[in-house]
Amino acid sequence: MIAPGETIPVPQPAVARRFAPSMKRAARLAEGPTTRVGLAIVITWALVAALAPLISPYSPTANDWAALADPRPSSSHWLGADMSGRDILSRIIWGARTVLTIAPIATFGALVVGCLFGLLAGYRGGWVDALVSRACDILLSFPVIILYLIIIVNFGASAFNIVAVISVTKAPIIARIVRGITLELRQREYVQAARLRGESSWHIMFVEILPNARGPLIVEACLRTGYTTIAIGTLGFLGVGLPPPTPDWGGMVREGYGLLTVFPHMSLFPAGAISSLVIGLNLLAMGLRESGTRD
């Protein structure tokens, strides 16, 4: 018999039970205001990038010769036009797609390489650790921008080369982080139990250790994506970024820099786009770190 007011527990489906912990964890992480603000900014830019063909008022490479007479913001061009008559709003929208394609891919490449060598260094130790650590020290000793310029000037400016350069230069930082986590986690009981079961070193590194390092790595991925956005903008500003007429926020800042006192909108709006995305990623990383600390 069911007492008055008593509810009958309804069993959850297997799929719901499987994903319930992850959903609760995601809800807990989204409780902080810092996380919510950062996530809102990042999602907004992601939607802008995904919907670029639908929301862009013009083609990013279309020239409006009438706007050359007065490129300032108007009803025809809400954020104004550049010195080639191209709509700045459209180029910012399409530039979001460029940045949010290159930056995550480059960050993912750095994570893959950094995790691999960081796990090897931390778990193997000995000469492997010494070799990986010295290689990281050598790469980190170079000024990053100088290294970018040397590689890109010699091999040309393209999206692939930018991804490759950023992946290589960011990987040592990830490797150091993963190495430190691995040095601590390899002493845990579940790792010792895996050794006693006869599991291979690769199984222990990628199945037992790496999943337990995902929290710091997710935070670091957000930060690295923000830094990569800055790096892409810096390369564009220096004139060695994506080749024109590809919409590039850094290149847009460079094109309008000489006219900053006359037509400030040409540089300020793309610079604001870079700043807002980086701030959103940093806030998201800070929120995730704070939530992880509370847990």
Q: Which two tokens mark 114?
A: 């950094």
Distance CA 36, CA 14 (A): 30
Q: Name the pLDDT band for 188 (thresholds 50, 70, 90).
A: confident
Report the range of poorest mean pLDDT among 107-116, 167-176, 238-247.
238-247
**pLDDT at residue 290 in the model:** 77
pLDDT at residue 26 tops 90: no
Q: Name the pLDDT band for 5 (thresholds 50, 70, 90).
A: low
Mapped to the 3 state alphabet, what secondary structure does the chain carry?
Answer: CCCCCCCCCCCCCHHHHHHHHHHHHHHHHCCCHHHHHHHHHHHHHHHHHHCHHHHCCCCCCCCCHHHHCCCCCCCCCCCCECCCCCEHHHHHHHHHHHHHHHHHHHHHHHHHHHHHHHHHHHHHCHHHHHHHHHHHHHHHHCCHHHHHHHHHHHHCCCHHHHHHHHHHHHHHHHHHHHHHHHHHHCCCHHHHHHHHCCCCHHHHHHHHHHHHHHHHHHHHHHHHHHHHHHHHHHHHHHCCCCCCCCCCHHHHHHHHHCCCCCCCHHHHHHHHHHHHHHHHHHHHHHHHHHHHHHC
Angle at the Cα of 194 from the Cα atoms of 188 and 199, rounded to 5 degrees: 140
Considering the domain boundaries, does residue 4 fall inside one?
A: no
Considering the domain boundaries, does residue 24 fall inside one?
A: no
Total tally of structural domains belonging to the chain = 1
Considering the domain boundaries, does residue 52 fall inside one?
A: no
Q: Name the pLDDT band for 49 (thresholds 50, 70, 90).
A: very high
Other Cβ atoms less than 10 A from the Cβ of 129: the count is 17
The residue segments making up the domain with residue 173 are 33-47+82-294
Q: What's the pLDDT tens digit per position in 66-85?
A: 888 888 888 888 998 988 88
Give the pTM. Answer: 0.83
Q: Helix 126-141 to helix 88-124 angle, to the nearest 10 degrees?
A: 150
pLDDT at residue 174 tops 60: yes
pLDDT at residue 291 tops 80: no
Angle at the Cα of 153 from the Cα atoms of 152 and 155, rounded to 5 degrees: 60
**pLDDT at residue 11 in the model:** 53
Considering the domain boundaries, does residue 195 fall inside one?
A: yes
Q: What's the pLDDT tens digit per position in 245-289?
A: 888 899 899 988 888 888 888 999 999 999 999 999 999 998 888
**pLDDT at residue 147 in the model:** 79
Considering the domain boundaries, does residue 205 fall inside one?
A: yes
Considering the domain boundaries, does residue 290 fall inside one?
A: yes
- When the pLDDT of each residue in the chain is averaged and rounded to a whole number, the result is 85
Considering the domain boundaries, does residue 188 fall inside one?
A: yes
pLDDT at residue 15 tops 60: no
Q: What's the pLDDT tens digit per position in 191-237?
A: 888 888 888 889 889 988 998 888 889 999 999 999 999 989 988 88
Instruction: Tell me the CATH number at 166.
Output: 1.10.3720.10
Considering the domain boundaries, does residue 77 fall inside one?
A: no
The predicted model gives 41-57 an average pLDDT of 95
Q: What's the pLDDT tens digit per position in 83-93?
A: 888 999 999 99
Distance, C-alpha 192 to centroid of its chain: 34
pLDDT at residue 20 tops 50: no
- Do residues 169 and 239 touch, judged by C-beta distance below 8 A? no
Greater model confidence, 183 or 24:
183
- Do residues 256 and 266 touch, judged by C-beta distance below 8 A? yes
pLDDT at residue 23 tops 50: no
Enumerate residues 6+ apart whose C-beta is below 8 A from 140.
Answer: 172, 173
Q: Which two tokens mark 51?
A: 């919907």
